[in-house]
A and B are shown apart, each in its own frame.
Chain A
Amino acid sequence: AQSVTQLDSHVSVSEGTPVLLRCNYSSSYSPSLFWYVQHPNKGLQLLLKYTSAATLVKGINGFEAEFKKSETSFHLTKPSAHMSDAAEYFCVVSVLVGGYNKLIFGAGTRLAVHP
């Protein structure tokens, strides 16, 4: 069965310091993986996606994620946090079910950025 585990429900960093949001997945197949960000009262915005082309994926706003098959991980990182990065982040695995891609969401990690 496919599943996604976000290891931290809350992460707090200071502005200018690195960000690490951790995600482990379980999949019987070669997965497609995504990170989405959700700002308050907004929909989800795609940060980046992995679809087996390259293990290090660069996304928008300076975020990147590395796919590690041996560790079944897809952690999201950013070298230097900005106040505007404060939001909730979702790790998502996509699996093909019948005729569509079923998205399985992690429970989310809320990132707080302090001055």
Chain B
Amino acid sequence: DAGITQSPRHKVTETGTPVTLRCHQTENHRYMYWYRQDPGHGLRLIHYSYGVKDTDKGEVSDGYSVSRSKTEDFLLTLESATSSQTSVYFCAISGVGTDNSPLHFGNGTRLTVT
């Protein structure tokens, strides 16, 4: 398995509170991604990073921000959590973004917003 660790694995938080999810990789891969998984939607891209301090929006980025200060860490922040952000969040990595490299996924973070 690719060396990807997500923390925490589970979190329950209240509406309106900020939440930060962490993804840590040991593969030294350039590209990192945050997805959310919801029933009937497959996985949808929130944000991605193509290098340290280089990030861009995905298809469902509203209400989320990211930061990447080191190659190995990619943080996802919910500025003010809402119930619609209850989901399972997956981090993924790939070595190169433009050569059809497959992604390797972490085991996910289950977030519940009450």
Contacts and interface: CB of A to CB of B under 8 A. Distances in A.
Interface of A: 32, 34, 36, 41-46, 49, 51, 90, 94, 96, 98-103, 105-108
Contact of A103 (B45, B56, B104, B108): B45
Contacts, number: 57
Interface string B71-93: 00000000000000000001010
B57 to A, nearest CB: 11
B41 A46 contact: no
A103 to B, nearest CB: 7
A100 B29 CA distance: 14
A43 B106 contact: yes
Nearest to A34: B102
A46 B40 CA distance: 20
Given A107-B40, A107-B42, A32 B100 contact: yes
A32 B104 CA distance: 16
Given A43-B4, A99-B98, 15 more contacts: A43-B105, A46-B103, A49-B100, A90-B43, A96-B98, A98-B56, A99-B50, A100-B50, A101-B94, A101-B100, A101-B101, A103-B43, A103-B45, A105-B42, A106-B42
B31 interface: yes
Nearest to B43: A105
Contacts of B34: none
B59 to A, nearest CB: 8
